[in-house]
Amino acid sequence: MLFMSYESVEKTNVNIKTERLQLLFLFVFSFLLFVNTLSHQYALDDSIVITENSLTKEGLSGIPEIMKRDAFYGFFGGERNLVAGGRYRPLSIATFAVEYHFLGKNPFFSHLVNALLYSICVLLVFLIMKLWLKNHFNNKHYLSIPFLIALLFAAHPIHTEVVANIKGRDEIMGLLGALGAMFFFWKYLFHKKLPHLIFAFVCFFLGLLSKENVITFLPLFALAVYFFEPKKLKSAILPSIGFLALSGLYLYLRHIFTGTDFTPSMTVLNNAYIHATESERLATILFTFGKYLQLLIFPHPLTHDYYFNQIPLQSWSSPGVIISLLLLLSALAYGVFGLLKRDPVAFGIIFFLATFSIVSNLFFNVGTTMSERFMFMPSLGFVLIFTILTHRLVKKFVIENKRIQYRAIIIGLFVLGFSVKTLERNPAWENNYTLFSTDIKYSPNSAKLNSALGGTLIEEAEKNVTAEEKADLLNSATFYLNRAVQIYPNFSVAWNLLGNAHYLKGSPLDSMRFSYSRALQANPANFDANLNFGMVLNANKRYNESVRLLERAASLQPNSFNAWFHLGDAFYQLGEAGKSLQAFYTAVSLNPQSHNAYYRIGMTYGRLRNDFDNAILNFERAIEINDGIHYYYEDLGVAYGFKGQHRQAIEAFLKVIELKPDYGQAYFNLGTSYLALGDTVRANENFAISQQLQ
């Protein structure tokens, strides 16, 4: 008896050691898969939740507001409903606010956190699979079924969008919360310890606060018990009620804080089915189901963009739709019959369909035809199915003492292929330019991606590049933007960017006018188009037209410094001093550190009202903020001259010469001031220098 006890202890120690080694390997393996993302910059939607999110940039002080706002509020403000559906996902954004508070813009640390959280997620997958499958397979071997499932999940390239894009943390934290809840729920079933149940509830609610997809786990708790521990079904009743109550609380908070209904978006860019018949909608959704399965089995090519019109509307006669329908019906049939037999594969099918349902577009529009990040949760069901079916295939055709090796080889080949693809895909996420220019090869028919790449090329052209490089970048931008508006002729954003490209290329006004006019025809409330077109018209001396557009821009975004500043300039050019000053003073109130705005106020007082006292006051304010601009001093000197304060004028003109020694007009002005004081010698000296320079 003592010997048996000792043997039992030895086996337990071996099992613990095996599990620890498995956990260590999985953690290191998962982390190394994404270590090449640590040097990446911000990309794609990172601007929405981090770099251009006003609440995130408030740091710790912004967290209370984050917890009671739509996820996109800090970026879109009152226009957050421009994208489909409400998003109450405060937890991941709160983590970004913490990082921003202590580290500022630090993409390295944010990418590091994503990689670490993903690695922890993989560990939870392994531990939960061990709990679920302990009665179905021998899980004591290093290459056990749970280990292979976790390994396959870790390596899958379809996860790159979630991990390599910092914004994808909401998906990771959501699954972490759901898996954490499942883990502690399972512990509670066997140990009946209240802390386990409390931890399960906390994890579940934190998961919900990260991503609403977690609500699809609600039926999976009881179903997992039914499949893997049916004797514990009664013990699952109380926790299930708790999970249901927490889901209700989350939905209530979501309703209160987002105030968003499910009215479909009225633009095809955020609702690809807006012009589809119900038959086309269902056929296309079914087609994307098949596309997802293809990417799970053979993840190539990968792209972040499936927006209109990358996947055109489908009909029921499409071969892809027919194949997808057959696959879905087969899966449903297997799931129903497997449910009665408590087959783990059937549970994997149910898991996949349950977590996929919320992002399938079947019940409500999710804003895009499909997206690889939507497979993050469902992929766990897929790898569970794939690994068990591989095990059964090997069991059927391979002799017993070779089964573990054959199973490991087959899964290992997929893990190797998936890992190579993940490492190859990660660099595409380095920044917007790399991502867009990579994915345009695989999403050439996406209006959104063509527009995004065109806009990014314009940004590249505005950097410190040679004239030849700038021309090439702008020509490429024009190409992609033209393609965007060909795909979607009412694409206001793309038309506006096309106008910007024409402006930077020095195209005729008619080219810019056509593009901006199309942008405003498609969306009269396009702030950028109103502002940019107004600025272009102002630069081309079409001041009355400019005023109309800039006034509209200012009404659309009353807190826009640029709108008020350029409106002030347009009124100045029209000689309307009162309206010009009103606009400039509004601009200054929005940006008190704008030296240029103070300078323009000074010019308005001086030239349009001959009010040199106020002109001098504002020139001096401009100089206090920035004392390195020569013409600020020049106009200050002129204003002093008109007031007869020639000594002060001389000081100002000397400062102009200090900043710009080869500026002939400054010497002439200086000579004029000396002459006014009766100092003809110095006056003539400066007149001579002025003549030499001019």
Both structure tokens of 414: 């997929």
Q: In sequence order, what are the residues at sequence separation of 6 or more whose Cβ sits closer than 8 angstroms to the Cβ of residue 116?
A: 31
Phi and psi, residue 662, nearest 5°: -100, 20
Q: How confident is the model at residue 364 (pLDDT cuts 50, 70, 90)?
A: confident
Whole-number Å distance between alpha carbons of 237 and 221: 10
CB 499 within 8 Å of CB 533: yes
Residue pLDDT, tens place only, 406-456: 888 999 999 999 999 999 999 999 999 999 999 999 999 999 999 999 999
Whole-number Å distance between alpha carbons of 537 and 554: 16
Phi and psi, residue 654, nearest 5°: -65, -35
Bond preceding residue 309 cis, omega within 30 of 0: yes
3-state secondary structure 466-493: CHHHHHHHHHHHHHHHHHHHHHCCCCHH
Residue pLDDT, tens place only, 120-131: 999 999 999 999
Both structure tokens of 17: 């050691």
CB atoms within 10 A of CB 188: 23
Whole-number Å distance between alpha carbons of 62 and 246: 25
Whole-number Å distance between alpha carbons of 335 and 329: 10
CB 499 within 8 Å of CB 517: no
CB 218 within 8 Å of CB 243: yes
Phi and psi, residue 508, nearest 5°: -60, 155
Q: In sequence order, what are the residues at sequence separation of 6 or more whose Cβ sits closer than 8 angstroms to the Cβ of residue 61?
A: none
pLDDT over 70, % of the chain:
95
- pLDDT at site 111: 98
> Which of 22, 24, 29 shows the shortest CA–CA distance to 415?
29
CB 30 within 8 Å of CB 153: no
Whole-number Å distance between alpha carbons of 312 and 143: 43
Q: How confident is the model at residue 318 (pLDDT cuts 50, 70, 90)?
A: very high
Q: What is the residue type of 259?
A: G
- pLDDT at site 4: 42
Distance of CA 391 to the CA centre of its chain: 39
Q: In sequence order, what are the residues at sequence separation of 6 or more whose Cβ sits closer than 8 angstroms to the Cβ of residue 542?
A: none
CB atoms within 10 A of CB 116: 15
- pLDDT at site 80: 47
- pLDDT at site 260: 58
Whole-number Å distance between alpha carbons of 430 and 341: 47
In Å, how far are 52, 531, 534 from 555, measured between CA atoms? 22, 11, 13
- pLDDT at site 283: 97
Question: What average pLDDT does range 526-550 have in this prediction?
Answer: 97
In Å, how far are 559, 565, 626 from 583, measured between CA atoms? 12, 6, 21
Positive or negative: CA dihedral 676, 679, 684, 690: negative
> Which of 254, 266, 138 shows the shortest CA–CA distance to 525?
266
Whole-number Å distance between alpha carbons of 453 and 380: 33
- pLDDT at site 75: 77
CB 342 within 8 Å of CB 226: yes
Residues in the chain: 694
- pLDDT at site 211: 95
Residue pLDDT, tens place only, 177-210: 999 999 999 999 999 999 999 999 999 999 999 9
- pLDDT at site 262: 54
**How deeply is 624 buried, as exposed, middle or buried, from its count of CB atoms within 10 A (0-12, 13-18, 19+)?**
exposed
Whole-number Å distance between alpha carbons of 313 and 332: 24
Bond preceding residue 301 cis, omega within 30 of 0: yes
CB 597 within 8 Å of CB 588: yes
Residue pLDDT, tens place only, 495-527: 999 999 999 999 999 999 999 999 999 999 999
Whole-number Å distance between alpha carbons of 535 and 504: 13
pLDDT score of 93 more than 90: yes
Phi and psi, residue 569, nearest 5°: -65, -40
Phi and psi, residue 276, nearest 5°: -90, 150
- pLDDT at site 7: 47
> Which of 284, 319, 304 shows the shortest CA–CA distance to 442?
304
Whole-number Å distance between alpha carbons of 226 and 467: 68
Q: In sequence order, what are the residues at sequence separation of 6 or more whose Cβ sits closer than 8 angstroms to the Cβ of residue 182?
A: 128, 200, 217, 220, 221, 224
SS3 (DSSP) at 261: coil
> Which of 649, 584, 595 shows the shortest CA–CA distance to 626?
595
User: The pTM is what?
Assistant: 0.90
Whole-number Å distance between alpha carbons of 331 and 378: 14
Residue pLDDT, tens place only, 228-279: 999 999 999 999 999 999 999 999 999 998 875 555 556 888 898 999 999 9
**How deeply is 592 buried, as exposed, middle or buried, from its count of CB atoms within 10 A (0-12, 13-18, 19+)?**
exposed
- Please name the residue that has the structure tokens 């934190």: 206
Q: In the predicted model, what is the mean pLDDT of the chain? A: 93
> Which of 144, 132, 191 shows the shortest CA–CA distance to 15?
144
Question: What average pLDDT does range 147-173 have in this prediction?
Answer: 97
- Please name the residue that has the structure tokens 């002025």: 690
Residue pLDDT, tens place only, 32-91: 999 999 999 999 999 999 999 999 999 999 999 999 888 888 777 655 444 555 689 999
